[in-house]
Amino acid sequence: MIVIGLLAGIVTGGVAYFIPWLPDQASTQAEEIDGVYWFVAIICAVVFSLVAGVSIYAGWKFRAPADDMDDGSPIHGHTGLEIWWTAVPTVLVVAMSVWSAVALARAETLPDDPDEYTTIEVTAAQFAWSFTYPELERTDGELVLRVNEPVELILTANDVIHAFWVPEFRMKQDAVPGIETRTVITPTKEGSYDVICTELCGPGHPVMRAGVRVLSDADYEAWVAEGEQGAGEGGEGEADGESVFAEAGCGSCHTLADAGSEAEIGPDLDSVVPGQEEQQILTSIVDPNAEISEGYQPNVMPGDYEDRLSEAELDALVAYLVEVAGARR
Amino acid sequence: MSATLHAPAPRRTGIRRWTAGGWLRALWTTPLAFLLATGLVAGARAALGYEPLLAQQPYITTLMVMVPIGFLAGIGAFDYWARYVSGRPTIPDDHASHGAHSWKDYFKVNTDHKVIGTQYVVTTVVFFIVAGLLAMFMRAELAEPGMQYVDPQAYNGLFSVHASLMIFLFIIPAFAGLGNYVIPLMIGAPDMAFPRLNALSFWLLPIAGLMMLSSYFIGAFGAGWTNYAPLAVQQPDGNLMFQMGVQWAGASSIMTALNFLVTIITMRAPGMTFWRMPLLVWANFATSTLVVIATPFVAGSQFFILFDRVLHTNFFDPGGGGYVIAYQHIFWFYSHPAVYIMMLPGFGIVSEVISVFARKPIFGYRLMALSLMAILILGFSVWAHHMFVSGMADWLRVPMMVTTMVIAVPTGIKVFSWLATLWEGRIHFKTPMLFALGFVSMFVIGGLSGVYLGSVPIDIHVSDTYFVVAHIHYVLFGGSLFTIYAGFYYWFPKMTGRMYNETLGKIHFWLTFVGFNATFFPMHWIGTRGMPRRVADYDPMFGNWNMAISIASFALGASTLVFLYNMIVSWRRGEPAPSNPWRALTLEWQVSSPPPIFNFDEIPQVVGSPYEYGVRGARHAILNGKPVQEGREAAPMEETVP
């Protein structure tokens, strides 16, 4: 039986060891979480090997011939054994709980000094993310972080529940309409990652993603400077259709060659926009159910863009669409 | 056979055929209810000047309340009570609606717990097949990245209806069906405590199932079976079908649970103390308590969403002061106990099967019963472990993690006791035993991944990914479904009076076991690596794995055909079953297969434990003046044929 148990243990251990179970570790939170993950994994592997070992051994050893009419040994119980298999699991679950609670507390701790971390406001809407950097007075469709600097993300949602998840950071948090939620990330590895929405939020859910870049100090400063320059050029209050398209998340569902988007949830704008009047385009944005393109369903596109975008932004967006997609007239 | 003791109901002729309870009357009462409901809403809207007159939602809601009532009144589910309430003399119960004389009786309102049990089982298998086909469509779409066959909203409809049917129309009622058939027999009772309530609770089921399925005609609900607000409010009108379907299925569940509780508490045969009850009866006792306490919460959660949609209330609309997360608290306060509602009866089945096929007393009987009660109580204190990343109060996470992990202790006691029951047994690997043993190891995997998910930091990473999809399928497929299969094969001889084909049963088990692991085990990996759940499209890096999973899932789907073929052919042409093919000690095996119309010609006298295999001279009960099989002197199979 010990042999079978060991064999089961080796198989389980091999599955655990040789398959790369977890994504890259790119934050201090990932280190904390992976520590618990492997602690629990070892306990589970041992328990499973024990159960598998005993069942296979018992099935092999105590198998009765088909015509056997005898009964087994009338064993009704064994108090000592029952105490052991109540006590040992209790100790194990307490150990796992304590480690988990400590790891959780450490993962979510921010430095006491507010200068040592940044706060970023994350807003989720069907089906796009936007990130506001209050210190930089900047809003972007991409999350940009400085390596080794803790960030506090304050999340909310405009319409339904969404969830913010970057597998390499391990951290996940729902963005909930009506309240603010919070999570903490300290990125440790430069690179590009994806924010993945993990709470079902409607037909665009599978494509609701945004980019994350973790930059070195120098690159981060350069990105900050570029933003300030851009803000200076653009001028106050003037909306730019191309950035409205990006920030409102249109590209999550619609193909538009100029914006580089290739999504297929909604109609391909390069083919439906040509030949449409500006008023017609505006109606399609603010009241998507007014006219549904053939082959598409009503109630898929959110109907609240009139509230989400200002009049100037809507006009800029329509003008942009006419300019880049409506050329075939 | 005593089945002919009571004459079938007199044939009715002329106009009486249309006014007596039955399908002919339902044929006109159902449309009548439809017209009444439509007229009621149209009249009210016109009188109050509501625009537009034909707003869909109020009509759908009213129809889904009134049409089922019209149908139930038509087939005669309320006849006895209607006479009672209106003061007319009730028809003296001639037991005309008791027992089945031909296959047609299975399509009528019948008050015999054995007929109702069979009706339940067959109905739930039909919904199981339908829900399984929906899963096949999902796997076809997921085989390759990108969109191939359906659009994303239709895909969301597929998994939502799949889960709703599997949970509300298959697992929960399949256990209720088996329990319905077996519990009165096991405790030595002639029937359930409330036979007419029992009949009604069955007829609510097809209504709930057809309601959820017909949502496809008006836009299937695509917010998952969890139906989280506010997404649920945005969904097409098919969402109402889910909300009302849950009400009917939930009502059915509550009625059956009350019936089980009263039956178990008041109708045990003389000498059948609680400590002499088979563990299946204990398990259904615990489950029924859970159902009665928890189900009103899911009913409430769906009514609140319904009100938000139809009456424009603001329970979950932050714009009107609502609190989105409140929905999840109410929903999971039912839906976590629901996991145990879908698991405890299975524990009961496995305890019966392992003890009988290992020819040994169940190990640690009292602790087995007590651990069921411990799970029942702890089950109410863990609901928020579904909400670790939801944005609920932070402080709630660690206490809920601890209670969640503690449930592993009573569950572990059960698993270890099943293993110890095998020890020094004489194990017969019949199909029910294979499924029971397959269940133990698969459920352990599901339980251990549950420990992962119970740990808050790990849950933060894997929550809402394919890891969770793998976990729920190890618990509900490797767990619940394996036990349901074990129960179907184990009691098939008793219910149909015929033996199933053992070879086909074993082929079914191995195909299912291998197909199941090949389908669901890799999901742990793709989830941990970064594939979220409930997505119609995914990162191409998971393409190969999804293709492999889809192929395995089609093999798993095909294995169901072996099961269906075996069940249908064996039911029609299988060898006649002896009364006790498994040489079991519990009471249902001491009467003929199928049992006589009132189960026992003479009330049995229970004198000992139901699991005394191998104990010389021990008896469970005395029936018709004869002791029920004594340990080693147990009569061989042939001699027990009546």
Q: What is the DSSP string of B167-212?
A: IIIIIHHHHHHHHHHHHHHHTT-SS-S-HHHHHHHHHHHHHHHHHH
Task: State ipTM.
Answer: 0.88
For residue A110, pLDDT beyond 50: yes
Q: How far apart (Å, rounded) are the C-alpha atoms in residues B557 and B309? A: 37
A188/A171 same-domain check = yes
Nearest CA to CA, how far is A31 from chain B (Å)?
Answer: 11
Q: Please give the distance of CA B506 from its chain centroid, rounded to a whole number.
A: 24
* Residues whose CB falls within 8 Å of the CB of residue B19, separated by 6 or more in sequence, listed in order: B25
A128/A179 same-domain check = yes
Closest residue on chain B to A88 (Cα): B409
Residue B199's nearest CA partner among B66, B99, B341 is B99
**What are residue A139's phi and psi, to 5 degrees?**
-125, 135
| CATH number of the domain enclosing A305 | 1.10.760.10
Residue A301 pLDDT level (bands cut at 50, 70, 90) = confident
- Report chain B residues whose CB lies below 8 A from the CB of A178: 318-319, 322-324
A18/A87 same-domain check = yes
How do residues A55-71 score in pLDDT, each as one tens digit?
A: 999 999 999 988 888 88
A230/A245 same-domain check = no
Residue B399's nearest CA partner among A97, A105, A37 is A97
Q: How far apart (Å, rounded) are the C-alpha atoms in residues B564 and B570? A: 10
Q: Is B543 exposed, middle or buried (0-12, 13-18, 19+ CB in 10 A)?
A: middle
B87: region left, alpha or beta (phi > 0 left; psi from -120 to 50 alpha): left
Q: Do A51 and B444 touch (CB under 8 A)?
A: yes
Q: What's the rounded mean pLDDT across residues B310-332?
A: 93
Residue B122 pLDDT level (bands cut at 50, 70, 90) = very high
Closest residue on chain A to B428 (Cα): A64
User: What counts of helices (H) and strands (E) characterise chain B?
Assistant: 22, 3
Task: Specify whether the CB–CB gap between B420 and A79 falls below 8 A.
Answer: no
Share of chain A above pLDDT 90, in %: 47
Residue A175 pLDDT level (bands cut at 50, 70, 90) = very high
A300/A213 same-domain check = no
Q: Do A48 and B445 touch (CB under 8 A)?
A: yes
A154 - beta bridge partners?
A121, A182
**What are residue A255's phi and psi, to 5 degrees?**
-80, 135
B532 - beta bridge partners?
B465
Q: Do B437 and A54 touch (CB under 8 A)?
A: no
Any domain includes A211: yes
Residue A159, H or E segment: none
Domain locations along chain B:
2-86, 343-577, 589-642
Q: Do A73 and B440 touch (CB under 8 A)?
A: no
Closest residue on chain B to A208 (Cα): B535
Match 């049409």 to its residue by tokens: B67
For residue A328, pLDDT beyond 60: no
Q: What's the rounded mean pLDDT across residues B478-492?
A: 96
For residue B287, pLDDT beyond 50: yes
A92/A153 same-domain check = no
A152/A180 same-domain check = yes
Q: How far apart (Å, rounded) are the C-alpha atoms in residues B268 and B605? A: 10
Any domain includes A73: no
The radius of gyration computed from the CA coordinates of chain B, to the nearest angstrom, equals 25
pLDDT of residue A126: 87
Type of residue at A296: Y
How do residues B486-495 score in pLDDT, each as one tens digit?
A: 999 999 999 9
pLDDT of residue A236: 44
Q: Do A176 and B231 touch (CB under 8 A)?
A: no
Q: What's the rounded mean pLDDT across residues B31-40?
A: 96
Q: How far apart (Å, rounded) are the C-alpha atoms in residues A260 and A255? A: 8
Q: How far apart (Å, rounded) are the C-alpha atoms in residues B48 and B472? A: 48
Q: Please give the distance of CA A22 from its chain centroid, rounded to a whole number.
A: 15
Q: How far apart (Å, rounded) are the C-alpha atoms in residues A235 and A274? A: 30
B479: which DSSP letter? I
Q: How far apart (Å, rounded) are the C-alpha atoms in residues B266 and B283? A: 17
A122 - beta bridge partners?
A131, A155
For residue B7, pLDDT beyond 80: no
Q: What's the rounded mean pLDDT across residues A165-174?
A: 95
Q: What's the rounded mean pLDDT across residues B503-523?
A: 96
Residue B89 pLDDT level (bands cut at 50, 70, 90) = confident
CB nearest to B452's CB, from A40, A171, A204: A40
Q: How far apart (Å, rounded) are the C-alpha atoms in residues A201 and A210? A: 15
Looking at A14-28, B37-51, B366-380, which range is the least confident one? A14-28
Task: Specify whether the CB–CB gap between A200 and B224 falls below 8 A.
Answer: yes
CB nearest to B460's CB, from A75, A77, A172: A172
For chain A, the distance separating the N- and C-terminal CA atoms, rounded to the nearest angstrom, is 80
- Report chain A residues whose CB lies below 8 A from the CB of B530: 23, 167, 196
Type of residue at A226: E
For residue B1, pLDDT beyond 50: no
Q: What's the rounded mean pLDDT across residues A132-145?
A: 89
Best mutation target among B138, B148, B150, B153 (most A Cβ atoms within 10 Å) is B153
Any domain includes A157: yes
Closest residue on chain B to A177 (Cα): B318
Number of domains in chain A: 3
**Three-state DSSP string of B108-120:** CCCCCHHHHHHHH
- Report chain A residues whose CB lies below 8 A from the CB of B456: 100-101, 104
Residue A145's nearest CA partner among A25, A27, A22 is A27
* Residues whose CB falls within 8 Å of the CB of residue B585, separated by 6 or more in sequence, listed in order: B610, B611, B612, B613, B620, B628, B629
Looking at A26-40, A264-278, B128-142, which range is the least confident one? A264-278
CA-to-CA separations, B457 to B344, B400, B548, B563, in angstroms, rounded:
28, 13, 30, 41
Q: Is A255 exposed, middle or buried (0-12, 13-18, 19+ CB in 10 A)?
A: buried
CA dihedral (B110, B113, B118, B120) positive or negative: positive
Nearest CA to CA, how far is A37 from chain B (Å)?
Answer: 6
Q: How far apart (Å, rounded) are the C-alpha atoms in residues B4 and A120? A: 78
Q: Which CATH architecture has domain B343-577?
A: Up-down Bundle (1.20)
CB pairs under 8 A between A and B: 284
A207/A284 same-domain check = no
For residue B438, pLDDT beyond 80: yes
Look at residues A184, A217, A234 and tell me which one is the last residue of a structural domain.
Answer: A234
A94/A17 same-domain check = yes
pLDDT of residue B637: 41
- Report chain B residues whose CB lies below 8 A from the CB of A32: 457
Average pLDDT score, chain B: 91
pLDDT of residue B345: 96
Q: Is B21 exposed, middle or buried (0-12, 13-18, 19+ CB in 10 A)?
A: buried
pLDDT of residue B638: 41
Looking at A84-93, A282-291, B167-176, B542-551, which range is the least confident one? A282-291
pLDDT of residue B626: 67
Looking at A200-204, A268-272, A301-305, A308-312, which range is the least confident one? A301-305
Looking at B3-17, B115-129, B156-170, B273-287, which range is the least confident one? B3-17
A262 - beta bridge partners?
A255
Type of residue at B242: F
| CB atoms near residue B322 (< 10 Å) | 19
CB nearest to B631's CB, from A20, A23, A71: A71
Q: Please give the distance of CA B326 from its chain centroid, rounded to a whole number.
A: 27
Look at residues A234, A260, A290 and tell me which one is the last residue of a structural domain.
Answer: A234
Q: How far apart (Å, rounded) are the C-alpha atoms in residues A34 and A22? A: 8
pLDDT of residue B19: 85
Task: Specify whether the CB–CB gap between A256 and A269 falls below 8 A.
Answer: yes
pLDDT of residue B56: 87
Q: How far apart (Å, rounded) are the C-alpha atoms in residues A141 and B271? A: 73
| CATH number of the domain enclosing A155 | 2.60.40.420
Residue A112, H or E segment: none
- Report chain A residues whose CB lies below 8 A from the CB of B322: 178
pLDDT of residue B636: 42
Report angle CA A184, B382, B479 to the nearest 5 degrees: 110
Match 């009706």 to its residue by tokens: B119
Maximum Cα interatomic distance, chain A, rounded to a whole number of Å = 93
Residue B95 pLDDT level (bands cut at 50, 70, 90) = low
Domain residues for the domain of A100 are 2-60+81-107
* Residues whose CB falls within 8 Å of the CB of residue B425, separated by 6 or more in sequence, listed in order: A58, A62, A64, A72, A73, B358, B359, B360
| CB atoms near residue B15 (< 10 Å) | 8
Any domain includes A72: no
CB nearest to B361's CB, from A74, A78, A160: A74
Task: Specify whether the CB–CB gap between B364 and B416 falls below 8 A.
Answer: no
Any domain includes A247: yes
